[in-house]
Amino acid sequence: MSKTGDLEPGHRSFEYPGAKVYPANLRNGEPNRVSTTRFTALTWIPKSLFLQFQRAANLYFLFIAIIVCMPFSPKRWQSKVIPYALVLTWTALKDLFEDSRRRRDDQTENCRKCWVYDFQQGSFIQIQWSMVKPGDFVCTLCDEPFPADLLVVGAAGHQGAFISTVNLDGETNLKLRSPPKVFESVVSPQSESDSVSRPPPPAADIVSLVSGGLMVQFASPCADLSDMHAAIELGSERCAANCENFVPRGCVLRNTPWMIAIVAYAGRDTKACLNSAEVAGKVSSLQGSLNFCVYGLLAALFATCIYMATLAKVAEPATDWAVRFLSYTITLYHVVPISLYVSFEILKLALGGFIDFDAQMIDESTGQGAKARTADLVEEMGQVDFIFSDKTGTLTANEMRFAECAVDSLVFSTFLQDPRGGPVGGVQEAQQILGDPTHHMHKAVLWFFTCLSVCHTVQADEKDGCVQYSGPSPDEVALVKGACQAGIAFKMRKTDLERKLVEVVVSGPSDAPDRVFSIRNIIEFTADRKRMSVVCESDGNFYCITKGADVAMSPLLLAPLGQKEEEQLCLFSQKGLRTLVVASAQLDSSTFSAWESSWLAAAMSMDQRTERMAECAAAVERNLELVGITAVEDRLQAGVPETVAKVKSAGIRLWVLTGDKTETAVDIAYSCNLFAQKAALAFVTGAVDSSDANASLQNARKLLEGTADGGIVLDGQSLNFILEDPVAADLLLDLGLRSRSCVCSRLSPAQKRKLVELVRLRSPKKAITLAIGDGANDVPMLLGAHVGIGIRGKEGSQAVQASDIAISQFRHLLPLLLCHGRRAYRRIATFLCYYLYKNVALAWGDVIWAHQGGFSGDVAYPEWLSTSFNAVFTSWPVLVVLAFDQDIPDALANSNPQIYQEGVQGDWFNRRLFGLWMLAAAWHGSLAWIVPNLSFGSSTYDSVAFWRASTTSFTIVIIAISLKLFLHSFSRSRPTCWAPILGSILVYVLVLFLLGYVSFGQRMQPNLSDGGDPPVPGWIFSNALPLLQTLLVPGVAILPDIACLIYARRLSPSPLFKVGCKVESDVELLT
């Protein structure tokens, strides 16, 4: 162990007695205080404004707010500055409210109490969590959370401490955390079964511990939950600690009266805080399209202002061109309204709420429904072109059952119980062999099932007279249960206090005495290693028992897997079973002693620890003898085949990414309808170099040429070569676009993400990608896709925590896409087109008036009417109408997946459609201005006739855009459609009369009441001509819209309109 003066950056060292901590600043202040707030009292306003001005539109509105205060402004500054200030204030207050909730939660967390050992008093005292410091000795009582990341020193009963990590990773099974070997005999077993309300007096144990000269060195803090290690010296004893000896902050002590630990990491250095870092946000494609349209409208706005300012300069040379340009900019600024982005977010929030309350996606077994963790991407789910799905726990139930196995040439029958009852063939065969010591396969079969009972990290708990198994991996639990079925049972784990070793007790067969295996070392499973090993001792013999994937195990065997074993693996895989190879080696004592010393040195090293431990693992995991092969069943979730079939019918490409064998993955693909029975499959597997991978891709391209429902089978080895070659990567992408489905086997988490990014970043039409998974190994691809869907499963909640939407079953993906995603895309696309359309329609009156009035720079409409246009009259109706706009029932949407393609093809938002909306705006706005002005208007600004015609034009615009909204709704007969539209018109009439007749309104808008009797509102509604125009002109204006709608819905209907027409005709028949 390096001395304290030689510490690497980030490392830390604690020395006792004296609790000397290096570096010393670790104990300064309140290192365990957590703060998740974004603002302080001084930084709230400046920081909130800074964040708001990151959006380009806010800079534009700021520019308008500044120039409207200039003397030349044609509008009052109050009408622009006040609404803009209200928007900024509302956002700042929202930020403050969210921050106050975070501050309150922080205060609650920091003020929790825990027991810390006071060396001066020689006893434990209670202090707040915020006062806990690295190097402190902490005593945690049963059902109390841990205040920091702790190194276990001891617990009541010597077996270690059981902890619940559900708050951290979502896993509900309890985990055993044991003290490192040097601590195993330190704490006395008093109070080991009694519940306590304060720490027992273990002061003497702690004094004896620290007086022996204790030094603990910890590695740098990191976010990886499994990466926790330390080097410990206690007198002459040395040992290493790993994640099995640590407990993370926020987890809870269970079924253990008390536990003593050393604070290793506090505050921001804890796993909980390091994993709470914000991930870069995702932006939907429609958000990008909106920004593009806004920039286009701003460019058109400035071009129009330049054009009109130039004509004003030509008409009157004395005109100040810059002043006139800025005047027109103020006049037409509402082309991009302040309320656009606020309304956009409100609509998304409402659509996200519909996901949360949808009864279709409630899991019957848990009662949990879907959860939109972010509402920013709801419309993205209506445009998905590629789905990347994990297999285990996503398509399958992750409920592992030991199905079959093979030992040498003997392949056992199934271990699965027939639903009709009767004996289980495989179990009977195994028990018969194990019960007959003279059988020629007895020794081999006994050792096979013994290896399954020893090589694992499963816990055995006795409840109601029965042993129940639990562990972090469902596969391991299934293997242990399979061995138990055969008669070789894992009974318990216990600690040998004298030798400071954990022992595994195995019983069977029949009346044979229990066997004890002392676990000397565990070499853990990782996604890269694809195997795990246990180095153990029994009756003076040392063994290395290893189990793992065949591709990882074959190179470690004395002889590579032969044809017989390959046939067995293929047989199991073709049944859709998950296979593992089990092997072992016996070590002599000298070899083991030398290896254990190297392993200890590697485990205690702070530099290049991972590489050194990998070298040590490779040194012992070699020259293994094959013991047998296991096959575990993981059945499909309910509704998966039907969901996959409908997803493919929706035109979505589905890729299944898994770490399983190719044969297993292909069999699952057939059983879940990913591959049709007669589909042409192109295999790109087993490549040994780049040229081989390219040749496989070329052959696959020829095979899939002209096929409508072809599939690709790809493996991780070939994918490595493909991703290294840009040409091969493009060819793979081309194959993916030609086919409808793909299975990728033997992939690592990093390869999953690279495959998602290949499609996301390099597809010609920027295909929208969706990734769905349930485990921590799926997190990279969930973060890499446009939309990440996390499934609540048995592998913790890391996938859910990294997802955008959380669901409980794969089948819930269908209503999520075909109902919510599809509708959200249509609704938001219509919202964007309509919101910009109505403001452009209003702006056309100002453009035409500029030509009529000789480019004087005067406004066309009453100022407070145009100011209230978005905030009071037109924004809230479109939100209500579109939020509740129902096209077809959910059941019909789920049974007609072909309608989903409208989103993939961008039928509801594209350049052509947006251009048509803008043409409609020009037609409606121009007609609304021209008709009244030619009838009874005046070119004399500020005359009574001018304002009568102007107000009539404004009224026509309000009614015309309301009718257009009504036309574009699918729910015209529902109150959620006509009620807000009618209500907005009534609100407009009310405001109009308030401005014309109430003294306060007359002061705000004097030109509606000055010089006329009656005031302008009364004149409009009491004279036949303007009243007739307000009723007829909007109808004439939308006649082209009606014609287009009839053509689109009746003469050339899209799939959605066809289904909708069928529903209408069915309703007519029923009535």
Residues annotated within a binding site for ATP: 390-392, 476, 525, 547, 578, 658-660, 746, 752, 777-778
Whether the CB-CB separation of 205 and 271 falls below 8 Å is answered with no
Distance in angstroms (rounded) separating the CA atoms of residues 450 and 427: 15
- Cis-peptide into 337, omega within 30 deg: no
Q: Is 59 exposed, middle or buried (0-12, 13-18, 19+ CB in 10 A)?
A: exposed
Distance in angstroms (rounded) separating the CA atoms of residues 683 and 607: 43
Q: How far apart are the first and last CA of the chain?
A: 86
CA atoms within 13 A on the CB side of 540: 0
Q: Provide the 3-class DSSP secondary structure of residue 906.
A: coil
Q: Residue 539 region, left (φ>0) first, then alpha (ψ -120 to 50), else beta?
A: left
Task: Measure the CA dihedral 602/604/610/613, to 10°.
Answer: 30
Q: Which helix (H) or strand (E) holds 925?
A: helix 911-936
Whether the CB-CB separation of 478 and 402 falls below 8 Å is answered with yes
Tokens representing residue 115 in the block: 């027991």
Number of alpha helices (DSSP H) and beta strands (DSSP E) in the chain: 38, 34
Tokens representing residue 345 in the block: 């977010």
**Other CB atoms within 10 Å distance of the CB of residue 926:** 16
Query: What angle in degrees, to the nearest 10, is found between the helix axes of 474-486 and 425-434?
Result: 60
Annotated binding-site residues for Mg(2+) read 390, 392, 774, 778
* Amino acid at position 976, single letter: T
Tokens representing residue 501 in the block: 């070793």
Tokens representing residue 80 in the block: 């622009």
Interior/surface letters 886-895, b for 16+ CB within 10 angstroms, e for the rest = ebbebebbbe
Distance in angstroms (rounded) separating the CA atoms of residues 104 and 114: 20
Pairing status of strand 258-265 against strand 149-155? antiparallel
Write down the residue that tokens 């640590």 correspond to.
246
Length of the chain: 1071
- Cis-peptide into 23, omega within 30 deg: yes
Whether the CB-CB separation of 483 and 452 falls below 8 Å is answered with yes
Distance in angstroms (rounded) separating the CA atoms of residues 68 and 286: 31
Distance in angstroms (rounded) separating the CA atoms of residues 980 and 987: 10
**One of 390, 667, 715, 804 is an active-site residue; which one?**
390
> What are the backbone dihedrals phi and psi of residue 238, each rounded to the nearest 5 degrees, phi first?
-130, 145
Active-site residue, 390 included? yes
Q: Provide the 3-class DSSP secondary structure of residue 655.
A: strand
User: Nearest 5 degrees, angle CA 532-CA 457-CA 489?
Assistant: 110
Whether the CB-CB separation of 1018 and 989 falls below 8 Å is answered with no
**Other CB atoms within 10 Å distance of the CB of residue 840:** 25
Whether the CB-CB separation of 635 and 399 falls below 8 Å is answered with yes
Annotated binding-site residues read 390-392, 476, 525, 547, 578, 658-660, 746, 752, 774, 777-778
| Residues designated catalytic | 390
